[in-house]
């Protein structure tokens, strides 16, 4: 399937707005409650909820800025501590997911970081009942190698997302849900690399090799 860049950008924006709607909506509700609440303890609780929602919104914006956007604040090489901090923040409030890292070197190319973040996001969403997310990345032989493994009691992974990763979407299957995976295929193929995934009982393994 040939992707229209304008449509893809529009769908990625829709996905971003969808993910931000909940924490931003919670802030709006919290402000309304705060304006009406007189009890000091309840006002304190409102402030805590507002702080939590604001932090969640900021964490997601930072994540999507690098996962979907151009991330102009970085050069072509991004410190590996940056994507690690973004994913850590994304799962910080989910005590059902255990996150393990294996990162080699101090930096990764921006394209590799974009792939890592989006594969991590797919892995997080696959762990609907919690589990373990293992993320590894290294540069070897002039290429960036990335692997993300999600293991848990139930893995939620739609085959349409798999087709998007492989660049095999049928007409009409590109949506805000499949757009991130479709973008990853474009990034990987544009760099002369490729993506792979395997889904077995209790495990989803995704990998990428990007030259350069």
- For every residue of 101-170, which 3-state class applies, written as one string? EEECCCEEEHHHHHHHHHHHHHHHHHCCCCEEEEEEEEEECCEEEEEEEEEECCCCCCHHHHHHHCCCCC
What pTM did the predictor assign? Answer: 0.89
**pLDDT value at residue 22:** 86
Lowest mean pLDDT among 15-19, 113-117, 161-165, 180-184: 15-19
Domain coverage including residue 27: 5-211
Total structural domains in the chain?
A: 1
Instruction: Give the rounded percent of residues in the chain with a pLDDT score beyond 70.
Output: 98
Distance (Å, whole) CA 47 – CA 6: 40
**pLDDT value at residue 2:** 61
Looking at residues 177-196, what average pLDDT do you find?
Answer: 93
Residue 140's domain is classified under what CATH number?
Answer: 3.30.565.10
pLDDT of residue 157 exceeding 70, the answer is: yes
Q: What sign has the CA pseudo-torsion 82, 135, 128, 9? A: positive
Looking at residues 91-112, what average pLDDT do you find?
Answer: 92
Looking at residues 126-138, what average pLDDT do you find?
Answer: 96
**pLDDT value at residue 3:** 72
C-alpha torsion 20→24→29→30, nearest 10: 130
Q: Look at the block and give the residue holding tokens 């692997």.
A: 147
């Amino acid at each position: 399937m040939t992707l229209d860049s304008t449509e893809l950008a529009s769908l990625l924006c829709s996905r971003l707005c969808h993910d931000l709607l909940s924490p931003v909506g919670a802030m709006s509700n919290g402000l309304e409650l705060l304006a009406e609440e007189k009890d000091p303890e309840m006002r304190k609780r409102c402030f805590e909820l507002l702080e939590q929602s604001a932090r969640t919104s900021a964490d997601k914006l930072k994540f999507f800025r690098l996962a979907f956007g151009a991330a102009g604040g970085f050069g072509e090489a991004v410190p590996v501590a940056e994507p690690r901090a973004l994913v850590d923040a994304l799962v910080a409030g989910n005590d059902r997911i255990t996150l393990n890292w294996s990162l080699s070197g101090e930096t990764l190319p921006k394209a590799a970081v974009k792939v890592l973040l989006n594969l991590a996001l797919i892995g997080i969403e696959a762990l609907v009942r919690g589990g373990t997310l293992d993320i590894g990345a290294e540069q070897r032989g002039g290429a960036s190698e990335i692997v993300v493994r999600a293991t848990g009691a139930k893995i939620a992974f739609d085959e349409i997302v798999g087709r998007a990763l492989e660049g095999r979407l049928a007409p009409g299957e590109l949506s805000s849900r499949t757009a991130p995976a479709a973008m990853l295929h474009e990034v990987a193929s544009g760099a002369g690399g490729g993506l792979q995934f395997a889904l077995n009982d209790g495990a989803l393994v995704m990998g990428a090799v990007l030259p350069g």
